[in-house]
Amino acid sequence: MLIQLKIENIALIEIIEINFEKGLNIITGDSGSGKSLILDSLNVLFGGTNIPLKHLIRPGKDHCMIEAIFSSSSQINNWLISNGFEGSNSELIIKRKSFRKNNKILSKYNVNNLSINKTLLEKLGRFLIDFAGQSDTFIFDTLDKRRTIIDDLASQGLRNTSAKIKNIWEESEVLKLLMNKKIESNNKQQENNFVFKQMLKSLEEAKLNSCDEISELELLENKLVNNLEINNSIQLSLENLNNFSHDNPSVASLINQSIKTLNKTADFDSEIQKFREKLLNIQSNVEELIFALNSYLQDIENYESNLPEIQKRLFFLKNLERTFSLDLPKLIEKRDQLKMYFQQNDKDNEIIQIKSQIKKLQSNLNFLFLTQSTERKRIAKQLQNSVLSILRNLGLKNANFSIQFSECKPSSDGIDNINFLFSANPDQKLAPLSNVISSGEMSRFLLAIKSSISKKPNTFFLDEIDSGLSGKSLFSLVELIKEISKNQQVLCITHQPFLAAGGLAHFKVNKKVINGVTYTSIAKLTTKKQRKHELVELIGGGFGEANDYASKLLDRAAA
CB-CB contact of 522 with 18 (8 Å):
yes
Q: How confident is the model at residue 134, as a pLDDT?
A: 57
Q: How confident is the model at residue 131, as a pLDDT?
A: 81
Per-residue pLDDT tens digits for 327-364: 999 999 999 988 887 776 665 678 888 899 999 999 99
Give domain 1-148+455-524's CATH number out of 2.60.120.260, 1.25.40.10, 3.40.50.300, 3.40.50.2300. Answer: 3.40.50.300
What residues pair up with 407 in beta bridges, in sequence order?
416
DSSP structure class, residue 541: S
Please report, for residues 154, 158, 415, 534, the alpha-carbon distance to residue 406 in angstroms, rounded to integers and kept in the order given.
Answer: 19, 19, 8, 51
What span, in angstroms and rounded, lies between the C-alpha atoms of 451 and 479? Answer: 13
Residues of the chain whose pLDDT is less than 50? Answer: none
Q: How confident is the model at residue 453, as a pLDDT?
A: 75
Choose among 349, 350, 326: nearest CA to 338: 326
DSSP string, 104-139: EEEEEEEETTEE--HHHHHHHHHHHEEEEEGGGGGG
Domain ranges of the chain: 1-148+455-524, 195-344
Q: How confident is the model at residue 306, as a pLDDT?
A: 77
